Amino acid sequence: MDYFTNVTYLTLEGHIELEKYRYVYFLISLAVYLLIICCNSVVISIICANKSLHEPMYIFIAALLCNALCGTTAFYPKLLIDLLSERPAISREACIFHAFWLYTYAAAEFTLLSAMAYDRYVSICKPLQYATLVKMSTVKKLLFICWFWPSCQNSIAIILTFQLRLCQFKINRIYCNNYAVVRLSCGDTTANNLYGLYNLTVVVFPPVIFVIFSYIRILTVCLKNSKDFRRKALQTCFPHLIIFISFTITTFFEVINSRLEGNVPHLFAMIMSMENLVIPPLINPVIYGLKMQEIFNRIKKMLQLQKRKTHVFIN
């Protein structure tokens, strides 16, 4: 019993189903990770380098893409190492810290999406007050809250998990999940479970409710205006809405699956649990780069300039 109550290393058993084709999965994961870094970095660089894009809407987009880089960097390097390992393992402390970064990424994604919804709500529903309500000082405060609030809330959950003694060492996942670590405990986890529900309630639900409220108000205003107004509003809101719906559905699936582990086919659960770490970081820069005309024009100019430089170099 003493051995099991002093577990220092945990094994990630979710990789067992990937073992047969692990080198193929390694190459795919590496390609996806590099593509995510490249695409997000390009859009962030364009927004930072062009003063004409230093507006609240584009600053929020850059913040969303920076958050995606943080989340994927917390996930992919460890995944790539594990795919090349015979028995993927991680220290107890590293696993809990890993879960903290992934949780903070997901929570910050919701708060950032709600901040972006606020920006769109004001610009469409209260255009005359936009300059007053969405000042740069307001944007800075919102960005601070978007990262500070989730990290504080998740820190408490992690501290509670650190205090647990673990009786088991197998996590049936390919990455660390705080609730999965809590389930390995041999002690009372009531405080962890209650705080987990509280954390979900105060970090995830308010942003989701606010985004829904914002779009109800936006839809109401659009229905009262011209077709041209509705088209422009849709063009502005569509990328944000697609990302919000996708992220919300998969996040709630992950929350439910964590509580009902074993009742969902493992391969399907694994794919769904990875969706938030693969799809949004990959499609966000593509959607915003193509749908936001200013960003698209800057990317187009950059590619044309690079093409000319290449042509001159060859000649």
Task: Give yes or no for a contact between 61 and 141, defined as CB atoms under 8 angstroms apart.
Answer: no
Three-class DSSP category at 187 = coil
Closest listed residue to residue 64, CA positions, set 127, 17, 119: 119
pLDDT reported for residue 6: 58
CA atoms within 13 A of residue 27's CA, in its CB half-sphere = 3
In this structure, which CATH number among 2.60.40.10, 2.40.50.140, 1.20.1070.10, 3.10.270.10 belongs to the domain 4-314?
A: 1.20.1070.10
Domain ranges of the chain: 4-314
Q: Which residues pair with 166 in a beta bridge?
A: 185
Q: What is the pTM of this model?
A: 0.86
Closest listed residue to residue 108, CA positions, set 59, 75, 142: 142
Question: Positive or negative, the Cα torsion across 261, 79, 285, 147?
Answer: positive
Distances (CA, A) of 30 to 24, 26, 37, 65, 244: 10, 6, 11, 19, 26
pLDDT reported for residue 305: 62
pLDDT reported for residue 118: 93
Give long-range contacts, CB 8 A cutoff, 24+ apart: 18-25. Answer: 18/83, 18/174, 22/83, 22/84, 23/83, 25/83
Q: What is the pLDDT of residues 37-71, one digit of tens each?
A: 998 998 888 888 888 788 898 899 999 999 999 99
pLDDT reported for residue 36: 92
Given its phi and psi angles, is residue 262 left (phi above 0), alpha (psi -120 to 50 degrees) or beta?
left
pLDDT reported for residue 300: 67
Task: Report the alpha-carbon distance of residue 60 to residue 283 in Å, rounded.
Answer: 16
Sole residue written with tokens 């958050």: 67
Provide the edge-to-edge strand list for the sheet that holds 9-12.
89-91, 9-12, 170-171
CB-count exposure of residue 12 (10 Å: 0-12, 13-18, 19+): buried
pLDDT reported for residue 108: 93
Give long-range contacts, CB 8 A cutoff, 24+ apart: 96-100. Answer: 96/158, 96/161, 96/162, 96/176, 96/178, 96/181, 97/158, 98/74, 98/175, 98/176, 99/158, 99/161, 99/176, 99/177, 99/178, 99/181, 100/154, 100/155, 100/157, 100/158, 100/178
CA dihedral 127, 128, 132, 136 (to 10 degrees): 40
Residue 185 DSSP one-character state: B
Closest listed residue to residue 12, CA positions, set 263, 181, 255: 181
Mean pLDDT by 10 residues, the chain (315 residues): 60 76 88 92 86 86 92 90 84 89 92 93 90 91 92 91 85 84 86 89 90 90 83 79 85 76 65 77 78 64 61 50
First-last CA distance in the chain: 74
pLDDT reported for residue 3: 42
